[in-house]
Amino acid sequence: MKPELLAPAGSKESFYAAINAGADAVYLAASRFGARAYAGNFTYDEIMECAETAHLYDRKIYLTVNTLVKEREFAELEEFCESGIPDVSDGLIIQDLGVASFFRNRKPDIPLHASTQMSVTGPLGAGLLKENGFTRIVPARELMLDEIRDIHDKTGMEIECFIHGAMCYSYSGQCLFSSVLGGRSGNRGRCAQPCRLPYRLAGTAAKDETYPLSLKDMCTLEILPQILDAGVCSLKVEGRMKPPEYVEGVISIYRKYLDMICSGEEYHVDISDLRRLSELYVRGSLSHGYYDRHNSRDMVTITTHGYNGSSDNEDGSKGSEHKSVYTGVTDHIPVSFSAAFRTGNRAYISVSASNAYGEMIYGYAEGDTVAEAEKSAIERDNVLKSLKKLGNTVFITDDDHIEAEIDDNAFYSLKGLNQLRRDALDDLKKNIIASYELSGEKIPAKKDENSFRKDSGIYTAEESNNRSLFADNDSAPGKMIHGRFSILATSAGQVKAALKWAENSSRDSICRIYIDEVLLTGGQGTDILNDLPDDLPVFAALSFIRRKDDDVSFIEKLLDSEKIKGLLVRNLEDLAGFSDKYADRIITDFSLYMYNRDAGAFLDRYAAGHTIPLELSGKESEDVICGTGMKERVIYGRAPLMITAGCIRKTLRSCSHKDGFETIIDRKGISFPVRCDCHHCLNIIYNSVPLLIEEDRNENITGRIEFSDEGPDEAEGILGVFYGINDPGNIRHTGGWYNRPVL
């Protein structure tokens, strides 16, 4: 399969820059539901124009529908679906599982591509998406080449990877930083980029501020053959917020080297091309990204966060001669016309052109009957002038490629002549595009018997009401009773605090306790589990991210031995890995976003209960609780603002390889705890203050109290708030999103 060079376009000008520079495909968004809400994006007419242009050149168009969609926005999504825009695309790039379900039901022939916002990190998660109709995945940008190869070898799915451009510090889709600080959600296309701001470690002076969360831009030109060898079929350039000059410059350079690889030439990168790339809107210097490392201080800009300047011309000036490049195609398709205007016969125009594979394709149109001229006959010059009127099309011709048979006394109106030309060219366009489809270049998604379409026997949102596998089942591990508290502990001291409250109050007030996966490893985990009473259901809170070398066999042993009763699952890899055997013992966390009822119905297939996303308000939560399984909502806890492969310690100090906390401080003096999880080699950056919801809660939602960096005494005090003993006013906290819907 020929590798695909995939370009970004935030405007029509960028689209034409990509096509002219040699992109095989372009990804873009309509005015709604794209993860770059502040890009120019495209109107209906612009998308239709760009799709037709792309398809005439055997290029592809992918639409980004990769935001999380609230239940109340589905009416607008329905309008978008029926607008015809999705139908002209060659694939939809999607983050929201409910949106995927929506399109799979309504447009089953449009291929679904899993956005990098889904944080796919392994073959199990990719396989779960494959069985639900996805044909391509864009894995997490943090994956190394051997992990990508593992996904390809075990699933056979199309893999699309970023090869150039800006990089998020957080695993994409696992960032709430912008949402917390500005009410603008990165999951909804409105990221305010707090990662590009300065921070310092606690204990250092203000002068020590740097940019530890700002990654250098990615440039993989030097390792392009290795990326392709890992099974990547689509090479994706970031940049829908960037100008046409960037798109043209980056795509043209990568086109040169991708052609070099495809031709079998010896691969060698010219230093001048690397220099040119470094001048095109780059933060600091460039890096290979994560492809050849798990993380590194060298990947971070540290001392700067802004873009280098970009120039069009060698002298650094902006070249006006480039402007025309961005208004249409520069490589027009030559056409030949044959026209006939014979008195008493119907006028016709035949037009021909070669498609991208050199095959001759034809278009044809017949008009009205040619009349005898009463005053002036149709002139050859007028016919030639009309047929050469191709300024707003992708076609070009000249006198040498026009044949016309015209009777001396024939009359045909100029308006009719122009319409006949347009009709013939429209027929040619249709036939050129069809020639690629017939040759198998455009392959529609196949309906999978395991897809979540209604006729596959899988529950839809309407059919899955009260479907909790725990509900009304006395024999289920840790029977769920709505309205009770659950407690999540990340330290042994927090576990002891929870036990103390359980012993001093009604045991029934705690329905289960979640213990962080790291605490359950080794001897410490055995001691903790042995100290817990048999009638207190214990669940393992699994890692937010699951990577290739993680060993989870001990979790299965704990489940099978009944040492733990269930799992809090936080990623697709674990959902796929554990659901076949333990679906009735799984609760999905807020990181597996249940933004709408369709997403809940999807997750119902794999779990018995779900956690309401942190970003949904109290009223919005009401929209998703019916039609799906048991629900929980975090009512206390520091929101994880970022889950990162980058390491604050390694960047600003040195890595101790021991779990623990660091603290970073922003330019306003606000402190953010950072958990260094060395077991999984990831960081969790928490909010500066915990969420605390005091309002009356829905009786159908279980409240969860989550502990992160709290000591035992502090944990006891917080539990006292929810038992009515301590005053919540004594705890510095935020109401979070409960009364503040996120944009």
Mean pLDDT (whole number) for 475-494: 68
CA dihedral 510, 512, 518, 523 (to 10 degrees): 90
> Ramachandran region of residue 302, left (φ > 0), alpha (ψ -120 to 50) or beta?
left
In the prediction, which pLDDT does 320 show?
Answer: 38
Q: How would you classify the pairing of strands 510-516 and 538-541?
A: parallel
17-26, 541-550, 581-590, 719-728: least confident range? 719-728
Predicted local confidence at residue 697, as pLDDT: 65
Average pLDDT over residues 626-635: 80
* Mean pLDDT, residues 549-561 taken together: 95
Q: Give the pLDDT confidence score for residue 166 in this predicted structure.
A: 94
pLDDT of residue 586: 97
User: What pLDDT is attached to residue 37?
Assistant: 57
pLDDT digits (tens, 9 = 90+) for 95-104: 999 999 999 9
User: Average pLDDT for residues 314-318, to the nearest whole number?
Assistant: 38
Rounded distance, CA 334 to CA 322, Å?
23
In angstroms, the CA 660 to CA 637 distance is 18
Q: How confident is the model at residue 74 (pLDDT cuts 50, 70, 90)?
A: very high
Collect contacts of 720-724 with beta carbons under 8 A, ≥24 apart: 720/501, 721/636, 721/692, 722/485, 722/635, 722/636, 723/501, 723/505, 723/509
Residue that is written with structure tokens 């089942």 in the block: 473
Copy the structure tokens of residue 204.
């250092």
Burial of 390 (0-12, 13-18, 19+ CB in 10 A): middle
Q: Could you read off the pLDDT of 403-428 as tens digits, one per residue?
A: 999 999 999 999 999 999 999 999 99
What is the arithmetic mean of pLDDT over 326-343? 95
- Is the pLDDT reported for residue 292 higher than 70? yes
Which segment of 75-89, 175-189, 340-354, 458-472 scores lowest on mean pLDDT?
458-472
The per-residue pLDDT for 418 is: 96
pLDDT of amino acid 304 = 79
| Structural domains of the chain, with CATH | 4-167+216-326 (3.20.20.70), 333-438 (3.30.390), 459-637+692-730 (3.20.20)
CA separation (Å) from 332 to 8, 26, 432? 22, 18, 14
Q: What is the pLDDT of residue 503?
A: 77
Tokens at 519, concatenated: 């605490």
DSSP state of 210: B
pLDDT at res. 735: 92
Q: Which of 300-309, 333-342, 532-541, 647-656 has the highest mean pLDDT?
A: 333-342
pLDDT at 498 over 80: yes
Pairing mode, strands 640-644 and 701-706: unpaired
d(CA 34, CA 97): 15
Using CA of residue 266, residue 272, residue 274, residue 277, what is the dihedral sign? negative
- Residue 439's pLDDT band, with cuts at 50, 70 and 90, is low
Segment 684-699 shows an average pLDDT of 87
For residue 520, pLDDT over 90 is answered with: yes
Length of the chain: 743
Phi, psi of 35 (to 5 degrees): -80, 15
Residue 307 has pLDDT above 80, yes or no: no
Residue 452 has pLDDT above 90, yes or no: no
- Compute the distance between CA of residue 307 and CA of residue 130 in angstroms, rounded to an integer: 38
Mean pLDDT over the full length of the chain: 89
Q: Is the pLDDT of residue 458 over 50?
A: no
At 475, the pLDDT band (50, 70, 90 cuts) reads very low
Residues 6 or more apart in contact with residue 210 via CB below 8 angstroms: 198, 199, 200, 302, 303, 652
- pLDDT for 39 equals 56
Backbone angles phi, psi at 59, to 5 degrees: -105, 165
Phi-psi domain of 314 (left: phi exceeds 0; alpha: psi -120 through 50; beta: other): alpha
CA distance 312 to 319: 6
* 182 band by pLDDT with thresholds 50, 70 and 90: confident
pLDDT tens-digit map of 198-219: 999 999 998 999 999 999 999 9
Mean pLDDT is lowest, of 65-69, 332-336, 520-524, for 520-524
Indicate if the pLDDT at residue 29 is higher than 80.
Answer: yes
Average pLDDT for 582-587: 96
User: Is residue 446 very low, low, confident or very high in pLDDT (cuts 50, 70, 90)?
Assistant: very low
Query: Do the bridges between strand 586-588 and strand 609-611 make them parallel or antiparallel, or are there none, so unpaired?
Result: parallel
Mapped onto helix, strand or coil, the DSSP state of residue 91 is: strand
DSSP state of 285: S
Determine the average pLDDT of the residues in 622-638: 85
Amino acid found at 334: P
Report the pLDDT value the prediction gives residue 40, as an integer from 0 to 100. 66
Q: For the residues 666-683, what does the mean pLDDT come to?
A: 96
What are the pLDDT digits (tens) for 276-288?
A: 999 998 877 899 9
Q: Which of 396-405, 411-420, 476-485 has the lowest mean pLDDT?
A: 476-485
The answer to whether 335 and 351 have CB atoms below 8 angstroms apart is: yes
d(CA 415, CA 427): 19
Nearest to 18 by CA among 437, 328, 356, 436: 328
**Structure confidence at residue 649 (pLDDT):** 94
Is residue 479 pLDDT above 50, yes or no? no
Q: What predicted TM-score, i.e. pTM, was given to this entire model?
A: 0.91
Residue 440: predicted pLDDT:
52
